[in-house]
């Protein structure tokens, strides 16, 4: 408990919020870097996942790839990319992208696939084009699950982005590593608390967006929600 | 899914399996936490067997080779050795050395003195060694130090040194434009990093953490110009390999850092004599040679150590 | 490949270390999460605190957890107990929710039928609820298995031996083969343990096969 009190004291010490290593700066770096990773993962993962969910093609491949990618150890990717690309943000960016892609892909794919085929059939019957079906029917209905995938990716990236400090001067991993290696455990723990808080705040924001999307996708149907949240749990982990 | 009475037996099997798995896990967890020190490839020491010595090493390839030197020299004398190699940084293993769980460990005089004393004034090899003997906690013996040193140094590329006419650390003051130092993150607040440089030489530099202990990434960053200055250990073969320039530390920023074995009471006079022989033969060139085999030929520590001990006639 | 041939026995040792650190947390989190998940599924009063509490654990970055655990539990930093405890906490973070969902998926009419045929609460748990929750539980367990195997490697940063040591050592010595071997073996171990989970589940839930074949 003492350790925790010291960590909170460290966090509250105004000295740590000033100067070159000011915590505010570190928080912004951490959030900014994580956001870029998740956005790029979304830019790749959502179209690809949606397409696979829509056409049903490449289904086996996507399950194998996302399963395999989950087993890849981030530290291993970080060190090998580091050796190849040098210091800086490139290597941690790639390593975290590999971490973020599987939940985003799985979310997009599972979300679109979980849309009732009868609904899609009805949309086709009233003359909507495939494009209209995708953007007007499938995507809005799949939105809660897609957002669930992004949420899971964002959580993992924020917590794992601490490893970026292994080879670059960025984010909350800096005080975490420095504190760990110099036995300033108040610093290390304080930084970890900040990371956990960031993760929680982001999680909360996603929850709000997700329930808004759910309300929009299923305004009248309380029962459907169960099916969707089931799909969400499957991809959330 | 419906449950019919005929399935009950199979359902019970599920319950049993989960129960069995549970017991197995509890047992496994019990085994693994029963003896937290039991790792490494040698058999655990037999009860009350006073001739088994535990040799440890840092999570640093060069340190592991030195620990292998100690271990194999002792084994050649008929001592049983339990290897606990690559066990992290000083904060991880030092409590275990101080508690007597590890009997023999290769250390470095300067950094170890800084670990035990806040701001030691000593700088030269002999001064630091004497201070270290005085600072060692009860129950630990500081054996004779080796001539080999592996200490922090500031290095720059040959090109950068020539362009700015650098030979000493103090010359860095003449460099125009901002300088960035790359090193392990702990250097940022330790006396060997930017703060020490500012305090001792009055030179301000930026800092980038690279957690490879002056390894390949640090060298690459130096050559790419991402950093201009790096902390590299003097026994690192990459200094020669990449034609880097070690800046001379005229003001005594760095403590001398000779390789030194620290031993528990269980290391008897005979074993101490064996280790002293190894230390005496371990010159600066020898250490760089050992390290070179590790990074260039990628040989495992045990093989490198064995070849060297045979060459030195220390195995028997 | 020169490196690999010279270091086979070291790799083997690290592989063994890795297994010792990965298997216990997977099993322990299963044992801990099943009753907690059942509790959360059965009582709305427990559901929110349990799921939020374990969910919170997942927000803590892994490195500091490896330092906090020994401080709180009094283990030595490099004791396997430290890693096992920390990874069990992570495992529970995922599995308690998974188990709660699994038990919630057991249809109410099946419960009523079981009660009507004279099952005690204990009997109902072992003979009805647990087997029916099995498939959903299995899918969470598989995720925990894969992520635990991958997380063990992070311990190498503080000097705890595992396949992750191949990353930190290869990084220091500039040996690509070391890091790549570590990555490949980590994935292989993850898949192997995952396959074991599936096999064990098939053995324990033979009716699943019949259903999927149909």
Output phi, psi for A83, to 5 deg.
Answer: -60, -35
Query: Which ranges of chain B does DSSP label H, i.e. alpha helix?
Result: 8-34, 61-76, 90-98, 109-116, 125-135, 158-164, 194-201, 216-224, 238-241, 269-281, 284-295, 301-311
Per-residue confidence (pLDDT) for residue B303, from 0 to 100: 93
Q: Per the structure, how many domains does chain A have?
A: 1
pLDDT of residue A92: 93
Partner B contacted by A141 (CB < 8 A): no
Looking at residue B5, what is its pLDDT?
42
Which residues of chain B make contact with C161, given a CB cutoff of 8 A?
39, 86-87
Asked if A79 and C167 come within 8 Å (Cβ–Cβ), the reply is: yes
Confidence of residue C60 (pLDDT cuts 50, 70, 90): confident
pLDDT computed for residue C211 by the predictor: 53
Query: pLDDT tens-digit profile of A138-181?
Result: 888 888 888 888 988 998 899 889 988 888 888 898 888 888 77
* C178-199 average pLDDT score: 93
Q: Do residues C7 and B300 lie in contact, with contact meaning Cβ atoms separated by under 8 Å?
A: yes
Asked whether the predicted pLDDT for residue B21 surpasses 60, the reply is: no
Which of A202-206, B138-142, C156-160 shows the lowest mean pLDDT across its residues?
C156-160
Contacts of B212 in chain A (CB under 8 A): 167
In this predicted structure, the answer to whether residue C58 has a pLDDT above a threshold of 60 is yes
User: What are the contacts of B30-39 at 24+ separation with CB within 8 A?
Assistant: B32/C20, B32/C24, B32/C80, B32/C81, B32/C84, B33/C75, B33/C79, B33/C80, B33/C81, B33/C84, B36/C75, B36/C76, B36/C78, B36/C79, B36/C80, B36/C81, B37/B84, B37/B96, B37/B101, B37/C79, B39/B84, B39/C17, B39/C80, B39/C161
A227 band by pLDDT with thresholds 50, 70 and 90: very low
Q: Is B217 in CB contact (< 8 Å) with chain A? A: yes
pLDDT at C57: 80
Q: What is the pLDDT of residue B50?
A: 56
pLDDT of B147 higher than 80: yes
Most trustworthy range by pLDDT among A170-174, B100-104, C94-98: B100-104
Residue C84's pLDDT is what? Answer: 92
Pull the structure tokens for residue A156: 């993992």
**Rounded Cα–Cα distance for residues A33 and A20 (Å):** 18
Q: Do A167 and B217 touch (CB under 8 A)?
A: yes
Residue at A4 is within a domain: no
> What is the pLDDT averaged over residues B241-246?
93
8 Å CB contact of B14 and C3: no
Q: What CATH number corresponds to the domain at position A96?
A: 1.10.3720.10
pLDDT of the residue at B42: 39
B311 pLDDT above the threshold of 50 = yes
Give per-residue pLDDT as tens, B149-172.
998 899 999 999 999 999 999 999
Chain B residues within an 8 Å CB radius of C203:
17
- Looking at residue C1, its pLDDT comes to 56
The average pLDDT across B64-76 equals: 95
Report whether CATH 3.30.70.2740 matches the domain C2-206.
Answer: no
Whole-angstrom distance, CA of residue A44 vs CA of residue C184:
25
Residue B292 pLDDT exceeds 90: yes
According to the model, what pLDDT value does residue A1 have?
Answer: 60
Confidence at C157, pLDDT banded by 50, 70, 90: confident
Q: What percent of chain B has pLDDT over 70?
A: 84
Which residue out of C88, C92, C138, C159 would a mutagenesis test of the B interface target, given it has the greatest number of B Cβ atoms within 10 Å? C159
Residue position matching structure tokens 């040996």: C175
User: What strand order describes the sheet that includes B180-183?
Assistant: B206-209, B180-183, B229-233, B152-157, B244-246
B91, pLDDT greater than 90: no
* B27 close contact with C: CB closer than 8 A: no
pLDDT tier at B74, thresholds 50, 70, 90: very high
- Kindly report the average pLDDT of chain B as a whole number: 83
Residues of A in contact with B217 (CB under 8 A): 82-83, 86-87, 167
Q: State the pLDDT at residue B11.
A: 46
Q: Where are the domains of chain C?
A: 2-206
Whether B90 contacts chain A with CB within 8 A = no
Burial class (CB in 10 A: 0-12, 13-18, 19+), B123: middle
**Residue C97: which pLDDT band, with cuts at 50, 70 and 90?**
confident
**Distance of residue B190 Cα from the nearest chain A Cα, in angstroms:** 8
Say whether pLDDT at A119 is over 80. Answer: yes
Expressed as residue numbers, the domain containing A109 is 21-217
CB A137 within 8 A of CB A128: yes
Q: What is the mean pLDDT of chain A?
A: 83
Question: Which pLDDT band, with edges at 50, 70 and 90, does B48 fall under?
Answer: very low
CA-wise closest residue to A187 among C210, B186, B191:
B186
Q: State both tokens at A213.
A: 């999307």
Q: Does residue C150 contact residue C190 with C-beta atoms inside 8 Å?
A: yes
In this structure, is residue A229 part of a structural domain? no
Contacting partners of chain C (3+ CB pairs under 8 A): A, B
Distance (Å) from the alpha carbon of B96 to chain C's nearest alpha carbon: 8
* Whole-number pLDDT of residue B38: 37
Asked if residue A8 is part of any domain, the answer here is no
**pTM score, whole prediction:** 0.81
DSSP-derived secondary structure letter, B247: P
* B1: pLDDT strictly greater than 50: no
* pLDDT exceeds cutoff 80 at A224: no
> Taking residues B170-198, what's their average pLDDT?
89
Name the pLDDT band for B18 (thresholds 50, 70, 90): very low
Query: Residue length, chain B?
Result: 316
Q: Is the pLDDT reported for residue B104 higher than 70? A: yes
Question: What is the reported pLDDT for C209?
Answer: 61
Question: What confidence score (pLDDT) does residue A220 get?
Answer: 62
With a cut of 70, say whether residue A120 has pLDDT above it: yes
**CB pair distance less than 8 Å for B32 and C24:** yes
For residue A71, the chain C residues in CB contact (below 8 A) are: 146, 149-150, 186-187, 190-191
Of the residues B25, B31, B293, B297, the best mutation for testing chain C's interface (the one with the most C CB atoms within 10 Å of its CB) is B25
């Amino acid at each position: 408990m003492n350790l925790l009190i010291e960590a909170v004291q460290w966090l509250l010490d105004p000295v740590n919020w000033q100067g070159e290593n000011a915590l505010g700066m570190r928080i912004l770096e951490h959030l900014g870097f994580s956001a870029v990773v998740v956005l790029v993962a979304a830019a790749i993962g959502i179209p690809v996942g949606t397409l696979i969910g829509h056409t049903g093609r490449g289904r086996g491949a996507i399950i194998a790839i996302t399963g395999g990618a989950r087993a890849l150890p981030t530290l291993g990717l970080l060190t090998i990319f580091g050796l190849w690309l040098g210091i800086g943000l490139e290597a941690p960016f790639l390593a975290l992208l590999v971490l973020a892609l599987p939940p985003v892909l799985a979310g997009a794919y599972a979300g679109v696939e979980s849309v009732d085929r009868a609904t899609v059939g009805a949309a086709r019957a009233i003359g909507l084009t495939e494009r209209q079906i995708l953007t007007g029917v499938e995507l809005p209905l799949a939105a809660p699950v897609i957002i669930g995938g992004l949420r899971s990716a964002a959580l993992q990236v924020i917590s794992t982005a601490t490893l970026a400090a292994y080879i670059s001067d960025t984010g909350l991993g800096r005080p975490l590593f420095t504190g760990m290696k110099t036995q300033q455990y108040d610093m290390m723990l304080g930084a970890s608390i900040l990371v956990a808080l960031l993760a929680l705040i982001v999680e909360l924001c996603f929850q709000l967006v997700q329930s808004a999307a759910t309300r929009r996708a299923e305004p009248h149907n309380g029962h459907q929600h169960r099916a969707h949240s089931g799909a969400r749990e499957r991809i959330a982990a | 899914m419906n449950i019919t009475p005929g399935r009950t037996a199979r359902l019970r099997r599920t319950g049993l399996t989960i129960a069995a798995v549970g017991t197995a896990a509890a047992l496994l967890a019990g085994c693994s936490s029963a003896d937290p020190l039991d790792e490494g490839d040698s058999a655990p020491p037999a009860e009350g067997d006073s001739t088994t010595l535990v040799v440890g090493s840092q999570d640093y390839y060069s340190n592991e080779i030195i620990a292998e030197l100690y271990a194999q020299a002792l084994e050649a004398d008929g001592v049983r050795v339990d290897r606990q190699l690559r066990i992290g940084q000083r904060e991880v293993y030092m409590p275990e050395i101080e508690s007597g769980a590890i009997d023999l460990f290769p250390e470095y005089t300067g950094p170890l003195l800084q670990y035990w004393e806040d701001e030691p004034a000593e700088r030269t090899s002999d001064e630091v060694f004497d201070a270290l003997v005085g600072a060692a906690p009860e129950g630990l013996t500081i054996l004779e130090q080796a001539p080999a040193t592996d200490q922090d140094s500031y290095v720059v590329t040959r090109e950068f040194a020539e362009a700015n006419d650098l030979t000493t650390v103090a010359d860095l003051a003449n460099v125009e434009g901002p300088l960035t130092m790359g090193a392990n993150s702990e250097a940022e607040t330790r006396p060997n990093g930017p703060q020490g440089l500012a305090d001792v030489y009055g030179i301000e530099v930026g800092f980038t953490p690279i957690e490879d202990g002056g390894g390949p990434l640090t060298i690459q960053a130096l050559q790419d110009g991402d950093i201009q200055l790096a902390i590299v250990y003097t026994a690192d073969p990459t200094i020669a390999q990449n034609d880097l320039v070690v800046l001379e530390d005229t003001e005594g920023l760095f403590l001398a850092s000779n390789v030194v074995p620290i031993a528990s009471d269980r290391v008897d006079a005979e074993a101490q004599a064996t280790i002293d022989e190894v230390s005496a033969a371990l010159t600066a060139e020898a250490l760089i040679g050992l390290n070179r085999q590790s990074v260039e030929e990628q040989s495992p520590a045990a093989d490198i150590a064995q070849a060297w001990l045979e060459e030195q006639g220390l195995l028997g | 490949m020169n490196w690999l041939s010279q270091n086979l026995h070291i790799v083997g040792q690290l592989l063994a270390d890795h297994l010792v650190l990965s298997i216990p947390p997977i099993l322990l989190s299963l044992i801990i999460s099943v009753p907690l998940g059942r509790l959360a599924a059965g009582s709305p009063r427990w559901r929110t605190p349990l799921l939020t509490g374990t969910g919170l654990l997942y927000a803590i970055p892994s490195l500091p957890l490896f330092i906090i655990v020994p401080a709180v539990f009094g283990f030595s930093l490099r004791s396997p107990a430290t890693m096992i405890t920390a990874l069990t906490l992570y495992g529970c973070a995922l599995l308690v929710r998974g188990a709660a969902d699994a038990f919630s998926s057991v249809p109410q009419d099946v419960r009523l039928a079981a009660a009507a045929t004279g099952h005690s609460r204990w009997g109902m748990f072992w003979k009805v609820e647990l087997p029916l929750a099995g498939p959903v539980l299995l899918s969470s367990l598989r995720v925990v298995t894969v992520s635990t195997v991958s997380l063990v490697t992070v311990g190498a940063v503080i000097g705890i031996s595992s396949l992750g040591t191949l990353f930190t050592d290869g990084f220091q010595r500039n040996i690509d083969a070391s890091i790549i071997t570590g990555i490949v073996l980590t994935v292989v171990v993850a898949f192997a343990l995952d396959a074991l989970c599936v096999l064990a589940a098939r053995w324990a839930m033979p009716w699943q096969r019949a259903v999927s074949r149909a």
